[in-house]
Every structure is written in C-alpha cells, then in structure tokens.
C-alpha cells in the first residue's frame, strides 16, 4: 500500500535559532521529534513552558498531538498535560509544559529533542441526547478491569 502524506506547514518564530523541522528519528518512528529552541533549567515542583521556535498548521481535517519522549521520562522529565492537543486554528508558538520529578535540576539545551508530534485525523461527531445502553458489564471507571 502506498504511503499517504499530508503537509503540515511550519513557520519559524522570529528570533529563534534555526532548528531542524520536526522529523522521525527512524523510518519506524510513530512521532516526529521536536527540539527545544531555548535553554531551561527544569526543577522539581515547577512547570516551565519550553518553546520550540515553531508555529504549525496541520491540513484541513487534522490536528496535532504533542507527546512526551519516553527517553526523557526515564530521566525524570515529564510533559504536563500529555498528550497536548494543538488545534488547527492555533497560530502561536508551540511550547511544551515540562517539569522535573527528581531532586536537583535537569538542563534542557537548545536543540534537545523534548517532544514528538503526531498528525491526527479530526473526525466530525455529533452528540445527541439518548439512552446509553451498556455493551459490556464493565462499570466503575479507573481500574475497572482489575489491573
């Protein structure tokens, strides 16, 4: 099956270093890595919005999701509000809310890969009042499978 590609328009924010455009690290990667456009010292208990120096516009019928990088999470760096939704009508700089879980600090340097983007199809939906009939016996919310 031929690969279908969609164009996501990218604009660099004025005054930011010329970093690589979002790109897959390997042919099998699901996400497109995004780099930091500023240096930040992450500390425990504080959320820093780390700029990417990029504005993005997905094609009609799509939106973008920003996800954390698993390699950073294993070092105590997590993305708050993950995954983050980037709506098609948002035109500001993409910034990632990062925090550090361990004692001390963690340096983010310009060019460090701090997140990964996914292009997601935005399916139209209509929500209508009506009776919701159970299709399974599971209820109870979080942990309802017993795991």
Backbone angles phi, psi at 106, to 5 degrees: -135, 125
What's the pLDDT at 24?
A: 95
- Which CATH number goes with the domain that contains 87? 2.70.40.10
pTM value is 0.83
What's the pLDDT at 103?
A: 95
The proportion of the chain whose per-residue pLDDT surpasses 70, expressed as a percent, equals 90
What's the pLDDT at 16?
A: 81
pLDDT digits (tens, 9 = 90+) for 102-145: 999 999 999 999 999 999 999 999 999 999 887 766 666 666 56
Residue 78 lies in a domain: yes
> For 96, what's the count of Cα atoms within 13 Å in the CB-facing half-sphere?
33
Residue 131 lies in a domain: no
Residue 95 lies in a domain: yes
pLDDT tier for residue 8 given thresholds of 50, 70 and 90:
very high
Residue 134 lies in a domain: no
Domains in the chain, number: 1
Cα separation of 111 and 16, whole Å? 11
What's the pLDDT at 141?
A: 67
Residue 126 lies in a domain: no
pLDDT digits (tens, 9 = 90+) for 48-89: 999 999 999 999 999 999 999 989 999 999 999 999 999 999
Residue 82 lies in a domain: yes
Residue range(s) defining the domain that contains residue 47: 9-17+34-121
Backbone angles phi, psi at 74, to 5 degrees: -70, -15
């Amino acid at each position: 099956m031929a690969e279908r590609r969609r164009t996501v328009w990218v604009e660099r924010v004025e005054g930011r270093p010329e970093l690589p455009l979002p790109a897959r690290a390997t042919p099998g990667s699901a996400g497109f890595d995004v780099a930091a456009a500023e240096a930040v010292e992450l500390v425990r208990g504080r959320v820093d919005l780390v700029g990417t120096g990029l504005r993005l516009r997905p094609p009609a019928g799509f939106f973008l999701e920003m996800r954390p990088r698993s390699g950073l999470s294993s070092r105590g760096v997590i993305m708050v509000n993950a995954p983050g939704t980037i709506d098609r009508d948002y035109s500001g700089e993409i910034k990632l809310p990062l925090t550090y879980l361990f004692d001390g600090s963690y340096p983010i340097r310009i060019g460090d890969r701090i997140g990964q983007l996914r292009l997601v199809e935005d399916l139209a939906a209509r929500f209508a009042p009506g009776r919701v009939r159970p299709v399974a016996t599971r209820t109870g919310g979080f942990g309802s499978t017993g795991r």
